[in-house]
Amino acid sequence: MLGRLSLSEQLDGLRSVLSRNEILTDVMARAATLELPGWYVTAGCLFQTVWNVATGRPPANGIKDYDVFYFDDADLSWEGEDAVIKAGQAVFAGLPVEVEIRNEARVHLWYEQKFGVPCPPHVSTESAIDCFAATTCCLGVRLEPEGGWRVYAPHGLSDVFNLVVRPNPVLAPRAVYETKAVRWKSEWPELTVLPWPS
């Protein structure tokens, strides 16, 4: 079981598993051409690919969208982010999925209105990934210019491989976590969903 391997073996296993999702590897390759500062492909498309492979499903099964985060605090305007989104639409054209691009330097400008709690400004893409509602979601990968993969996984990979959903109560409200967990559990009933801390 991959969740019980050494970290270096887990990283090799992650790359092997994610590479089975051809849509994901195509998104990563195309995202790299945008040369966005601090970019990662992140969240659901990653851990859900692992869940699919671990449970014998097709690698891209049930994945709603593919998220690309970047960090540009030199331009906090919507117009700047929208220009990147439009450039991305051209780069990702023809893919059978939606690719969502977001400048994580701008999240604090809209987060409270959407989720009801304030969000301190992020200082990097990594700090944004740190704030996902579940630790399992805190995962990002990108292609480096020399061809290697950079993996950001602040909580490690064991829960991802072991199909454990663990709350991360640092920013997102409990309701966000529980809503996501219910949806994931309905799609992947093999998951172990841990309760929000009381």
79-98 average pLDDT score: 96
CA-wise closest residue to 119 among 129, 127, 107, 130: 107
Tell me, what's the pLDDT at 5? 66
Tell me, what's the pLDDT at 11? 85
Tell me, what's the pLDDT at 10? 84
12-21 average pLDDT score: 94
**Predicted confidence band at 4 (pLDDT cuts at 50, 70, 90)?**
low
Tokens 């199909």 map to which residue? 163
138-153 average pLDDT score: 92
Contact predicate 188/163, CB 8 Å: yes
Q: What is the mean pLDDT of the chain?
A: 93
For residue 15 the two structure tokens come to 């790359």
Of 18-32, 58-72, 75-89, 108-122, which gets the smallest average pLDDT? Answer: 108-122
Contact predicate 41/67, CB 8 Å: yes
- Residue 34: partners with Cβ closer than 8 Å, 6 or more residues away: 84, 87, 88, 91
**Predicted confidence band at 42 (pLDDT cuts at 50, 70, 90)?**
very high
Tell me, what's the pLDDT at 84? 97
Contact predicate 119/171, CB 8 Å: yes
Tell me, what's the pLDDT at 183? 95
53-68 average pLDDT score: 95
Which run of H or of E encompasses 65? strand 65-70
Tell me, what's the pLDDT at 3? 53
Tell me, what's the pLDDT at 58? 97
Render pLDDT for 100-141 as a digit per residue (tens, 0 to 9).
999 999 999 999 898 888 999 999 999 999 999 999 999 999
What percent of the chain clears pLDDT 70, i.e. is strictly above it? 97
